[in-house]
Structure 1
Amino acid sequence: MNDSDGRADGGARNAVAAAEGGAGRRGDGVQSVERTLDVLEALAAAGGQLGLSEISARTGLPYGTTHRLLRTLIDRGYVRQDADRKYALGAALLRLGNATEQLFGSWAGPYLARLVELSGETANLAVMEGDAVVYVAQASSPRWLRMFTEVGRRVLPHCTAVGKVLLAERTDAECAALLRRTGLPRHTASTITEPAAMLAELARVRTAGYAVDRGEQELEVRCVAVPVRHRGEVIAALSVSGPASRMAGHDLRTLVARMHTVAEEFSAEVLGRG
């Protein structure tokens, strides 16, 4: 092979590589990965099932591309196809979710400990899973009389401070739909049980930037929660809870400001500013 042939061959290879790189990337990401994530996020955002045409429309992907991605995701268990031929998230995602929650909880440990130090009360980290709030980490108060919520416990969001914080980032229409699905069962005389009253409470949470549980889940227990934001979205809630008599001794404005600082540092230092 002469030099000119080598240069021609090399030029052809470079042209192909450039074309593949252009077709395979969007911005700084790999296009096929981004498209796969687009499909999964579309299904997650729908909160249920979607047909092929609906997924294609939501993601902006061609039918053929969407179908190929779905077939691969089905083969790996991350998506399932139901009898009506609609698609939904698959059980394989649970493995990732459980592992992520465990890591998330362990990362939060030092920050929860700081909340305990500044408040003297029990601190929790919670996330939303479907229509329920799940507690994923806790640091206990050193006091003899303290609050205890089992890690892994699932509760409805309407009667907890963490639940209110997580709901408040959704639109009124989304919140109303969730409340219709779950109802607003009463736990104490303080539990909010009317949808209109709950929507008004969530509006206050949005404005204030924090939520309070005034004995709505358990009698004589008071809880304050703030959001953990990442890339502009609320992904979790941090809370401090204790007996109502002791919590009343805190200056709420000061406590909330310190909790916001811890939440912001957790997001920046652990999750990154990306």
Structure 2
Amino acid sequence: MATLQSVERTLHLLETLAEQGGNARLGELASACGLSKSTAHGMLDTLVALGYVSREGSRYTLGLRVQALAGPAEAPARRLREGFAPALAAFTELTGQRCVLAVPGGSRAYLTLDGLDGDGQRWLPPADAQRDALATSAVGQVFLAHDPNLLRRLRREAAQPLAMEPRLGEISRQGYALDLGASRQGLHCFALPLRVRGQVVAALGAQGSAQQLAPARLQRLARRAMRELFELISC
């Protein structure tokens, strides 16, 4: 268990460095990760030795080995971005909100591949473990409703029963999921599954304030998107 926690903390540190633009000071990283400076320094030294992080004076940057590691995963991600680009554009135009194309990213949070703001301009939100959590976000619940293995893994990791689990059957049947402030207070979202040959591989998510996306409007938009984008959300 101690080894697992050490791995999790080290990966969180690496992800935090990426979220800060791939360039940050020791104190910034330690504070963002909730670590002491000495603990963060030891982890960073290990990552430097392995080539995943470089040190430039008082700052740490992502190392070239990160790119080498990520390289094989880029082709599938690019295919999804390109394949569902028309769906993302149409979804954004329909909703007029900030929208994302997302994929599963483990059993805790989803991963955003692409995004557009309400004007159709490219927009990528920074990773946010609370907002992107599988158990509370609309996007996450779409994945859980269609992936029994992912749901079982989340059950094993949860310290208490999953509050959203009774809704997953309904999400699967109706074809969309809603988040009325569960992932973040004041934020309302809805999400649709994206399929390749019948299998859910990604999701589209729209987000806005509770004032912009009141529950009744969310329902109307979700149903309209299911009707009008049907041919774009399956390929």
The answer to whether the 8 A contact 2:116-2:124 is kept is no
* Counterpart Cα distance in 1 of 2:87 and 2:174: 22
Q: Which has the higher contact order (CA 8 A, sep 6+)?
A: 2
Please say which structure displays the higher CA radius of gyration. Answer: 1
* Counterpart Cα distance in 1 of 2:228 and 2:114: 15
Q: Where does residue 59 of structure 1 map in the other structure? A: none
* TM-score normalised to structure 2 length: 0.59
Q: Secondary structure at the match of 2:231?
A: helix
Question: Does the C-alpha gap of structure 1 residues 267 and 243 become closer, same or farther in structure 2, counting only changes over 3 Å?
Answer: closer
Structure 1 position 223, deviation (Å):
0.2
Q: Where does residue 96 of structure 1 map in the other structure? A: 72
Structure 1 position 165, deviation (Å):
0.2
Long gaps (5+) in structure 2 = 1-67
The answer to whether the 8 A contact 2:136-2:164 is kept is no
* Counterpart Cα distance in 1 of 2:168 and 2:134: 11
Instruction: Tell whether 2:125 aligns with 1:150.
Output: yes
Instruction: Kindly provide the amino acid, as one letter, of the partner of residue 111 in structure 1.
Output: A
Q: Where does residue 179 of structure 1 map in the other structure? A: 155
Structure 1 position 254, deviation (Å):
3.4
Instruction: Tell whether 2:168 aligns with 1:202.
Output: yes
The answer to whether the 8 A contact 2:99-2:207 is kept is yes
* TM-score normalised to structure 1 length: 0.51
Instruction: Kindly provide the amino acid, as one letter, of the partner of residue 117 in structure 2.
Output: S
Q: Secondary structure at the match of 1:157?
A: coil
* Counterpart Cα distance in 2 of 1:213 and 1:149: 20
Question: Does the C-alpha gap of structure 1 residues 164 and 249 become closer, same or farther in structure 2, counting only changes over 3 Å?
Answer: closer
Question: Does the C-alpha gap of structure 1 residues 100 and 202 become closer, same or farther in structure 2, counting only changes over 3 Å?
Answer: same
Structure 1 position 170, deviation (Å):
2.3
* Counterpart Cα distance in 2 of 1:93 and 1:260: 37
* Counterpart Cα distance in 2 of 1:178 and 1:166: 12
CA offset digits 1:191-227 (Å, max 9, x no partner): xxx5242211222212322101111222211001011
Instruction: Kindly provide the amino acid, as one letter, of the partner of residue 124 in structure 1.
Output: V
Q: Where does residue 223 of structure 1 map in the other structure? A: 189
Instruction: Kindly provide the amino acid, as one letter, of the partner of residue 123 in structure 1.
Output: C
Long gaps (5+) in structure 1 = 1-91, 185-193
The answer to whether the 8 A contact 2:114-2:124 is kept is no
* Counterpart Cα distance in 1 of 2:226 and 2:69: 31
Q: How many residues align?
A: 164
The answer to whether the 8 A contact 1:136-1:152 is kept is no
Structure 1 position 262, deviation (Å):
5.8
The answer to whether the 8 A contact 1:228-1:235 is kept is yes
Q: Where does residue 136 of structure 1 map in the other structure? A: 113
Structure 1 position 267, deviation (Å):
4.4
Q: Secondary structure at the match of 2:182?
A: coil
Structure 1 position 115, deviation (Å):
1.8
Q: 2:223 aligns with which of 241, 251, 257?
A: 257
Instruction: Kindly provide the amino acid, as one letter, of the partner of residue 259 in structure 1.
Output: A
